[in-house]
Structure 1
Amino acid sequence: GRLMLHLAGVSDDLSLAQSDAVCTALQLINFWQDPSVDLPRGRHYVPVADAQRHGLSLDTLAAQPDSAVTQALLRELCQWAAELMRQGAPLACRLPERFGWELRLVVQGGLRILERIAGLQYRTLHQRPMLGASDLPVMAWRALRMRPTMPTPGFVLP
């Protein structure tokens, strides 16, 4: 994120903060997309405090069936990532030309994965949501409609 800003000649504090928010959101979205891949490999990305608040331990999470408890945990984690993305998304509308358009599509791709996770009712412990060719027109349309005052058009996370 910051490298892209450097290449675009952008270095103000707001842009740096928004870039960090987008990058953090993307990493979190990847974590919440992939527990079915990561947990069996011993990679635990769920914050301990969040798991404990839901009565779960990281040691048993991989063996857990998807349940109302795990769904609530994943929903909460996805909402956290969505909020970070909303905070950072206006940056895409301020970056020049190609940089701005690339970031718009990156933002929309992350949001689309969150929608796919929600479409599985947050049951990603044992299945991995993915994007396909049919997602590209939706992402492109939303990228075209992005505005600084409405950086995530059409995105609703249930």
Structure 2
Amino acid sequence: MIKILLVFLLFFSSVYPSSEIYFLPKEAKKSRNKIISLIDNSKSTIDLAMYNLSYKKLIKSLTKASKRGVIVKLYLDKAKIKKSDKINKLIKKSGIEYKILDKKNHLKLALFDKKLAVFGTANWTKESFGDNYELIFMTSQKKEIEKIKDIFSSLEKNY
């Protein structure tokens, strides 16, 4: 009986891919922990395009992922990275290679193992997860994942 239930659960979870939406600051801790879990459980790749990336907990998880062999690709905003010594130091200390885009990068977009995307209004900063009204959307829907993979391909080509 349990095996049949598991088969049905797996079948329906693949037929009806999941999506989640978080409203910050109310669900900030829950969404942050979910993102950390996604980073910590990534097996092969993490693609991240972010205007402002300075949340130490998230950078620490990205660093650990990179050190265990996950390919972490960061696409950052040229003006923001130049303005903030804090961001420069955190990213450089992580050892993760990053690319500074030639146009304003206002994206807040992550793709984990080419299977699950996280995007919304929130920069990955402590303030965004604690003080601001923000939305974070997570999806594994194939149509959206394909579009997001195309976005990252475009960023790579235009770099």
Name the TM-score, length of structure 1 as normaliser: 0.29
User: Which protein is richer in strand relative to its size?
Assistant: 2
Name the TM-score, length of structure 2 as normaliser: 0.29
